[in-house]
Structures are given as C-alpha cells and as structure tokens.
Amino acid sequence: MFRKLEFKTWLKELSLPVRQAGLPDSGQEHKIQTYSAEEGDEALRQISASKKEIVILVDCSSEVWPQVKLNGFYLSFKNSEVGTLPPTQINRLRQILEDEEISKITHDFKTLLIALKENHIEIKGKVFDTLLAAYLLDPAKVNFSLEELSWEYLGSYSNMQLDETAKTDAVFKLKPILEAQLKEKELLELFFKVEMPLAAVLAGMELKGVKIDTGVLKELSVKMQTRTQELIEKIYALAQEEFNINSPKQLSRILFEKLKLPVVKKTKTGVSTDEEVLNKLASQHPLPAMLLEYRQLVKLTSTYIDALPELINPSTGRVHTSFNQTGTETGRLSSSSPNLQNIPIKTELGRRIRRAFVASNQNFSLLCADYSQIELRILAHLSGDENLIRAFKKDEDIHKLTASLIFNQKITEVTNEMRDTAKRVNFGIIYGISAYGLAKDLGVGQEKAQDFIDAYFLRYPKVRNLCDAQIKKARKDGFVTTILGRRRYLPQINSANNTLRQFAERQAINAPVQGSAADLIKLAMINIQRGLDRKKLQSRLTLQVHDELVFDCPDAEVNQMQELVRQTMENVLPLSVPVKVSITAGKNWLDAH
C-alpha cells in the first residue's frame, strides 16, 4: 500500500527485510570486484570476444564538467559480476568502447561522454541511455535517477541509495522495458536519431565552454552598484522613509497604506507586490517603476554580472554551462551554472551582459544563427492555413499582415501600434491565450480582446481548426505530439477543475508548436556538428539559447560557416513554408547581433 501511494519515507521506516536495491531477484549472486590490471585485461578480453551487450556507468563527484572528479567506471557484461576500473585504467576500455559490434547501455550518456572525451576515447556502436529513454516516455517526471526508475519500472520497495551492483543490475533490467515502451509509443526514432546523438553534441559544447571578458563585467558591476545606490536613495525619498526594499511586508505598507495605491492582488500571506502588480501601478506613481528597475538590477547583478567571473574554470579560462536534456516537458533544452536562457535581450542591461561573451581569441569571431519566427512558421505548417502559408511564402511581414486583417486596414495603413497588437495576438494564439489573458497583456477590455481573437480566427480559420483538434486529441489520448512524435502528456485535460482544465487546453495547443521547434533546432545542432566533423573545421558550437545557436569560429572560416549553418538550419526538417535563419558575426555576443 505504501508503495502504491508512493509513501517512500514511511517505507524506509518499516523494519522489513527489503532487498538492497528493492529489485526483483535475478537468481544470481552479485559481487563487486575491483579489477587489478591483469583481471581487468582478462574481463575486457572476454567482452571483446563475446561481443555481448555491456553496462558501463561512470562514477564521478558531479555531473557538471569541469567540476567532475572521475572516480572510475563500473562495468558489467554477465549481469552477475560488476567490475570497477579506476581512472588510471581508463585506456583499457578503449578497445571495447570503440568496438561498433558491442552494444552499450548506460545511465546519463552525456556525463559518460564527457569523462571519455577528457581522455580522448570515443564511444562507438549502439548505445542505449536509460535516462533519456525514461525522459521521452514521461517528460513530466522531476527525477530520473536509477533509484526513481527502479521504483517505477522494476517494482522496488525502497528508495534507498543503490550500490554499484544494484545500479548495473537496474540498468540491465530497465533497458528492455524502456526500449519496448519506446517502440510501442513510436518514440524509438526520436530516441536514436535525435536525443542520443544530441547528447554527444552537448558534451562537446560543455567541454568547449565560452570565453568571458571579466573586464567588461567588472566595469559593469561598478556602474550597477552606483545605479542601484541611486535607485535606493530615490525610492527612500519617494517613500519619505528608509525601509527594507526586499521585504514584501514593508513594501506593502509603503505602497498601500502610506501612498494609498490601489490593491491589485492578494495572496495567502497578504497583499501582493509582485512584478505584475508593480507594472500595473507604475502608471499611477513613479515608485513602482523604480522598484521594478531595482529588482532587475539586483537580479542580473547577482545572477550574471558578479556570478560569471566566479564560474570561470581556472584551467580553461572559460565558463562551462551545463545543458540539460531532461529539464522541460516540451523538449526544449535548459541550462544551468549559469542559466543562459534568462539573459534578457530586450533590455539595455541584458545587452550589456552579452557583450562580455567573447570569441576565444582575436582571430576568432562569434557567429550567431537565429531562427526567424520559427514557431509561427510551424503553426502555419501544422494548421495548413492558406493565408499563413501564402504570407510566409511571399516573405511578408506576418505581424503587419495580421494587423491589416484584424483591423480591416490596408497593409500600408497599419500603424506600429496596430502591428504590436497583432504581434501579441500572433504569439498569444500559439500559447492558447484566452480573452482574459490577452486583455491583461494588451491593457484593453476583455470584450475588445475577444474581438481580436475572433477576428484572427476568422482570417486564419485553419488555425482555429488545429487548436480544436489538438484539444480533442488530448482529451481522447491524454497527450499531444510534435512533428517528430515527441509526446506531451496532459492528465488534467479532463479535470473537473476549470482552471486546471483550461491550463491543460492551452498546453495542448502550445506543446506541438514549441516541441516541434525544439526538435527542429536539435536536429540542426546534430547535422551541423556532423558537417563540422566531415569538413574538419575548427569552428565549434558553444551555446544554444532558445531558437539561437552561437559558434566560435576562426575569422577565415566565417563565410564557410555561414553557408553550412544556413543550409543545415533552413533545410533540416522540411516544412510547407520556407524556414528563415538570420546569421551575423562579431567579436562578442552583442556585436554579433
């Protein structure tokens, strides 16, 4: 009962003779053997001769390079004996790892690759990663550890830490189960052609890292300290007293009791002072606008300006962000240490931070390739809407065209304000926006916002059909899919709770579009890397942020890279509309734009 209800802590407290890993008994006595040089050679000879499937797990102190401290490898090919190889014997693995006839199973392929690449060892042949397989089968899971997967798929009674034998045993048992489910759900091709090769690309990017100009950040830090102090003094002056700006309670007293500003939103703990509230109040008093700027300065200073120099690895002189393949339900990549997805490009401070990301030396440049309106193009492809497809084929300004349609104006008479409204509607539709949400976004009445949505669907009727079809599919099947078959499960789609159901309906509309865009750029990364290897170029892919790829290129290769990158990105996944990529280069990330 505890296991069924996932009462894992209570399970651990039960005085039951729980098996070490909580795994079904294999009928074999497991043992761990630390191989001597001779024993290791003999075991590897047996593997090479038998061509059997092997499990190889890396033992390291961290999954994030260059903090990784390699302790060794666990190796098993009989499912009855686990051999440990210390780092000093890593070269003994070369023969079997580079043997294409020997299949390998692992958990966290990217970390294994980083450990091997550091020692100039390639891994060839068919590889199966239980981590990535579990992610494709259930992208909403928070934890993909072997302990968690053993619990879910192998009937484990315990969530205690697995030892080395139990881990290899779990990987052996998980592989056929996960592979069968991937096949049943038509995810094998996505697994072997996208996620597995992408892990190798990401490993190379993490090892490469990106160079940071600390001088730019130091100068920026001084300026931000000065500006932050100025803001604090102005905030105190407007409040007519000093108070803790970071305290929601004290700030609430100043805004709503002392300045008598209207209460916008309440929470369980009191009156809200979040970003949405401050944005609404900014038109009524100068203090909320200053608070918004103060918060942005503090956040970007602590997260990037002051933090990036601390993240530079002394042995490489670079920052090595970690790219997470299993961090989102839509299939998009995320990054951490630092999180490069959240550096704002539209603010002046965000742009200044990007100036600190520089090419590796004076004879190199950063080349940036950015997909243009890729989600709207995918929407046109998925919906088959003739008006959208025609607009992209004619290379028209899609936001101006939408504005002319919903405002019933000639395209030459569309104002910038009309275009901005249409742009918000265009992107809002992708995210399944409601009249209430659009009204908040545009600052208009809900009835007016509904008029915009109705006018949009009147002009693009097949987009409405697509939205309805995706919601209907989600209700029937419990999931929606991308162009390549990636699944997004939506268990709340039939919920009696109106809020949960509507949120799931918005996800049903958005997931196929955003997920297809994620699949597209992943395929592009894989194919570009293959092009770099084939042409033996020195250029390297260093960053991926949303719909943008950043390359570190010798100046002599920039023209060749522009051609390779454009051809690959624009043709990697044929759509019914042209795919456009903007490519620019510069000595730093800002100038490259």
Distance separating the N- and C-terminal Cα atoms of the chain: 58
Residues 184 and 294 in one domain: no
Q: Are strands 104-106 and 127-129 parallel, antiparallel or unpaired?
A: parallel
- Evaluate the omega torsion of the peptide bond into residue 139 and state whether it is cis, within 30 degrees of 0: no
pLDDT at 474: 96
For residue 263, what are its two tokens? Answer: 């209460």
Of 208, 238, 256, the residue at which a domain comes to its end is 208
pLDDT at 337: 86
**Single-letter amino acid, residue 37:** A
pLDDT at 169: 82
pLDDT tens-place string over residues 229-243: 999 999 999 999 999
DSSP state of 339: -
Q: Is residue 90 part of a domain?
A: yes
Which sign, positive or negative, has the C-alpha torsion 379, 384, 388, 392?
positive
Q: For residue 353, which of 467, 250, 214 has the smallest C-alpha distance? A: 214
3-state secondary structure of 386: helix
Q: What are phi and psi of 226, to 5 degrees?
A: -65, -45
Name the one residue in this structure whose structure tokens are 């440990």. Answer: 84
Q: Is residue 522 part of a domain?
A: yes
Total H helices, total E strands in the chain: 24, 20
The H-or-E segment that residue 38 falls in is helix 37-50
DSSP result, 496-562: SSHHHHHHHHHHHHHHHHHHHHHHHHHHHHHHHHHHHHHHT-S-EEEEEETTEEEEEEEGGGHHHHH
Residues 522 and 569 in one domain: yes
Residues 43 and 85 in one domain: yes
Q: For residue 135, which of 162, 96, 161, 109 has the smallest C-alpha distance? A: 109
Residues 347 and 392 in one domain: no
Q: Is residue 466 part of a domain?
A: no
The Cα 548–Cα 369 span in angstroms is: 6
**Among the residues of 188-339, which ranges form H helices?**
188-190, 196-208, 214-239, 248-252, 275-281, 286-300, 308-311
pLDDT at 67: 57
Of 182, 208, 234, the residue at which a domain comes to its end is 208
Q: Are 402 and 425 in contact (CB under 8 A)?
A: yes
Q: Is residue 166 part of a domain?
A: yes
3-state secondary structure of 86: coil
Q: Identify the segments of the chain with pLDDT beneath 70.
A: 3, 15-37, 39-40, 61-69, 78-82, 156-162
3-state secondary structure of 127: strand
Residues 29 and 174 in one domain: yes
pLDDT at 491: 93
The Cα 458–Cα 463 span in angstroms is: 9
pLDDT at 20: 41
**Domain ranges, residue 350:** 328-380+471-593
Q: Is residue 441 part of a domain?
A: yes
The Cα 357–Cα 352 span in angstroms is: 10
Q: How far is CA 273 from CA 180, 262, 292, 435, 547, in A?
A: 50, 11, 10, 24, 32
pLDDT at 437: 84
Residues in CB range of 502: below 8 A, 6 or more apart: 434
Residues in CB range of 545: below 8 A, 6 or more apart: 335, 340, 341, 343
Q: Is residue 44 part of a domain?
A: yes
Beta bridge partners of 56: 75
Single pTM value for the model? 0.89
pLDDT at 35: 63
- In CATH, what number is assigned to the domain containing residue 180? 3.30.420.10
Residues 421 and 315 in one domain: no
- In CATH, what number is assigned to the domain containing residue 581? 3.30.70.370
The H-or-E segment that residue 319 falls in is strand 318-319
Q: Please provide the size of the chain in residues.
A: 593
The tally of domains found in the chain comes to: 4
Q: Is residue 30 part of a domain?
A: yes
pLDDT tens-place string over residues 279-335: 888 888 999 999 999 999 999 999 899 999 999 988 888 999 999 999 899 999 999
Residues 85 and 190 in one domain: yes
pLDDT at 59: 80
Residues 307 and 346 in one domain: no
Q: Are 251 and 291 in contact (CB under 8 A)?
A: yes
pLDDT at 452: 87
Residues 96 and 216 in one domain: no
For residue 309, what are its two tokens? Answer: 């120099």
Of 319, 341, 372, the residue at which a domain comes to its end is 319
Residues 180 and 310 in one domain: no
- In CATH, what number is assigned to the domain containing residue 243? 1.20.1060.10
Q: Is residue 3 part of a domain?
A: no
Residues 438 and 401 in one domain: yes
pLDDT at 389: 95
For residue 312, what are its two tokens? Answer: 């530079």
Residues 344 and 315 in one domain: no
DSSP state of 139: T
Dihedral angle computed from the Cα positions of residues 128, 132, 135 and 136, in that order, rounded to the nearest 10 degrees: -70
pLDDT at 21: 40
**Single-letter amino acid, residue 119:** N
